Structure 1
Amino acid sequence: MSAILEKGPVHQFDSAAIRQQFPILAQKVHDRPLVFLDSAASAQKPNAVIDCMADTMRTQYANIHRGLHWMSERTTEAYEGVRDQVAAFLNAPSREEIVFTRNSTEAINLVAYSFGALLKPGQAVVISEMEHHANLVPWQMLRDRAGIELRIAPITDEGDLDLDALQDILSDGQVALVAITHMSNVLGSVTPARQIADMAHAAGAQVLFDGSQFVVHRKTDVQALGADFYTFTGHKLYGPTGIGILWARKALLDAMPPFMGGGDMISTVTFERSTWAHVPHKFEAGTPAIIEAIGLGAAISWVEKVGMEAVTAHEAALTSYALTRLANVPGLKVIGAPKDRGGVISFTMDDVHPHDIATLLDRNGVAVRAGHHCAEPLMRRLGLTATARASFGIYTVQEEIDVLADTLVRIRNFFV
C-alpha cells in the first residue's frame, strides 16, 4: 500500500448497503444482472449525487458570482463551497489554488498552455511511457508550438516507472516539468509520487501528477506528495461528467497567463486592454459547470462518508481476489505486475481478440473495456494492439469477479 494512506480505524464497509445507493446497478442487461467492471472509464453515480443535482435545478438554480438576488447568492455559495471541499479533499494549502475545469484533460491542457507559455525553447517536459493521451498530446502540441523538448521516461517490463532512467533524463538540468500519471489507467501501476517529486525538484523541475485514477481509490494529499500541479476528474469519482479539477501552487498560478478569455476571468475591460481577475477566477472564463460542480461536491461528501480508508481496503482485497481468480482462467494473461497496483486489471486471452472478449462478456451482462484505452504508445511498448480491462469501484463485490472469471472460462472454451 502507498505510504500516504490514512492511518486509523477502517470504516465499516457494507457492500450491500452501498450498492443499494446506485440505482443503475439494479437493472439487467441482456436479461442478466448487470456486472459493471468499467469504473476506470467512468463510475456510476449514487443517489446522493443524482438527488443533489436534481434538487439544485428544481429549487435554486441561477447563474453565479454577479447576481444580487437570493437565488444567485445561494447557488454561488453552494458552488464556491465545493472549492473549499476540494481543497480539503486534496489537503491543499488554499482554496485559491483550486481551479474548476471540465475534466483532467482540460486541466492538463491549461497547464500546457499557461505554464508552457513561461518555458523557453530548449527546455524539456518529461512524461512516461504509460501516459493516457490526455497527458501526452498537450505536450506534443506545446513542443510543436514553442520548441520545447519532449522526453519519455521508460517503464519496466513489470509496468513500474523506471526511476533510474528518470534520474538520467533529469541529469542535464534542462527539464522544466515532469508530468506523470499517479496511477495508470491500463496497468493499475501506482507511481511513487513523492520520490518522483523529490527527484524533479532536485533537478530544478516542477512536477504534475495526473490523479484521474488515483483519487478514486486512495487518500490524496498534495502537500505530502510534494506536487506542484495535480489534476483529477469528477466523473470517475462518482460525480458527473463535465467537471474536473486543477490544483496548483498559488505562486505558479499567479505567474501563469490566462488559458481562455471572456467573462468572469477579468478585472477590468476596455477596448484597449483587459486586466485579469485574481486566481483561481483568472482561469475560469465564462459561465462554469455550476450544477456539475455542485454534483462533484455531493460525490466527495458521499465518498468521505463511506471513508477513503474503507474504500482502499475494499478495493485492495477485490484486486487481490481478482488476480487470483483470473490466474486460473486458461489462456488468460494479466498485463503487468507492478509493485503497487490499484483496482485496474488489463488482460489478453489466447486466440480471442479483446473486442470479442468484451462483446461476449456484455452478452452475459458484464461490462468491461476493450481497446488501447487512450494509451496507444503504451500498447506499442507492451507489444499489443489492445487489451480487455476490468476495473473496480466502490460498489464492486467478489461475486461479480466470480461472474467475470466464470464467463471468461466459457468464452475460452467456445474458441478452443
Structure 2
Amino acid sequence: MRLLVLALVLFAGEARAASALQGVAAELSKGLTAIPPATVVIASSPVTDVAGTVPARTDELSVRIAGVVAGKLGGTTRAHDRAAALAGARAVAGRGGALLYLSVEIARGELRVTADLYPVMSNGWDRIRIPAPPPRAHVFASVPIDAEVRAFLPSIALEQASVHKARHEEGDVLAAACGDVNGDGGMELVLVSRARVAMGTLRGARFVVSKAVPWTALARRVPVPLREPLAGAAFVRSSAAKLLVGTSEREAVALDAGLGVRATLAGIPIPLGELDSCAAINPEASAFEGDVTGCGASSKERPVRATPPAARFDAVAAGEITARDGVPHVMVAAREPGGKLRLRLDAGEIRTVETVGAQLAVGDLDLDGGAEIATSSDGPDDALQVLSWAGDGSEPVVRKKIPAPGGVRALAICPPEVRGVPALVAVVGPEVWVVR
C-alpha cells in the first residue's frame, strides 16, 4: 500500500519570516530600549565552527550585521565600517554617545550575537579612573543561518552530500519532523507512525527514542479513515504547543515538549515557521483540498496561510528561500493525485514536473539562495532525488539521486546544525537516512 505523506517546510503569506540578519536585529532591539544619541555600533570578527572560512569575508559579515542593527535602532545610531576587538572598538567610539559592541559567533548552524552597551568616557579623568566601564545593557539573540549569512562562508557541494543510515523500530512511518523541542540547540527527530508518536535522536546506527506516546492516548479515531493514510508533523518553537501531529486515521493534536496533549486541531498539521497551519482533507477524494489555514477549532481562528498551486493534492511542500541579498522568496510545490508536481516561485508562472512520488520537501539545502525540491519516485523502483529550480523559465535540475529500494515513507528538512549545513531526513523502509 502506498502511503501519501504531507511534508511542508516554511510556507508563504503570514508565516514569512525575516532574514537571519533582520531577525537578529529585531531580537536585539527588543532589549535595547534606551540607546543614547550618537551611539556607535561595532561588531567583532566572527568566531565560527565552519571549516575553511576566510577571515576577510567573515569580517564583511560582521560589518553588515552592525549596519543592520544600527538601522533597526534608528535615530543617530551609526555603524562602524570595520570589525574590531573590544579594546579597539572603545577607542573608535571615542566621544560618541555610547558603544554598542556586538560579539558575533556562528556555531551549530546558528548566527549568535551578544550585544553589550558600554558608556563612553569623554572626560580624561574618567578614562583614567574607569578605563574599562562595564556594560549598561546586555542582550543576546540567535537565529538559524540562511543564504545571506552563508554567502560569507564556504559553499556547500550538494552533489557531494553523504548519507548516514540508522535503523528505527516504528513500523509504518507516516510523517517526520525535525526541530529543537527543548531549546538546547540540538535537533530532535519525530517519527509519526500508525501506532504512536516517537521523539528521539540518531545515535550511531540507531534511532534512539527519548519519548513515545501511543495514538490511543493522544486522540480519538476518525469515523471514516482513508484507505491510503495522510499525515503531517510540525515543530512550533514559539508556543506552549511545541509539536503538531495528525493523521487521517486520528484527530490531529497539539503537543507540548513532553508529548502531552494541549489542544485538538482542525486539520492535518504542516510545518509553517512559527505559525500553526493545517490542511483540510476531502475524504471522498482521499486527498487534501483548498487553502492551508490556521489550525484553530473555530473558523475565526483559521486564517489562510497559503494557497497551493493545485486545487486538490496529496502532498504539498513549500520553502521560504532567502536570497543572498536577504530578500525572501516563497517556492511552493504541490503533487496532484495523478503524480504531476506543480511548482511556483512567489506569484510567478507554474512549472510542471511529470510523475513524482508522494513524498515532498522544499528548502535551500545548499544555502545558495535557490530552492531544492526533494521527492520520492513514482514507480516500482523508488529513489530519493533532489532537484534545484531557480524559479524562472528554466527546467528543474537533478542534483542528487539515491536509490531507495526500501521505499521512501516520509521526508523532512532539518535547519542548519552540523557545520552550518541543513540536512534532508528520509525515512526509507526500516531506516532513517540523513543526507548532508
TM-score for both structures, normalised by structure 1: 0.28
Which of the pair has more CA radius of gyration? 2
TM-score (norm 2): 0.27
Q: Which has the higher contact order (CA 8 A, sep 6+)?
A: 1
Which structure has more strand as a fraction of its residues?
Answer: 2
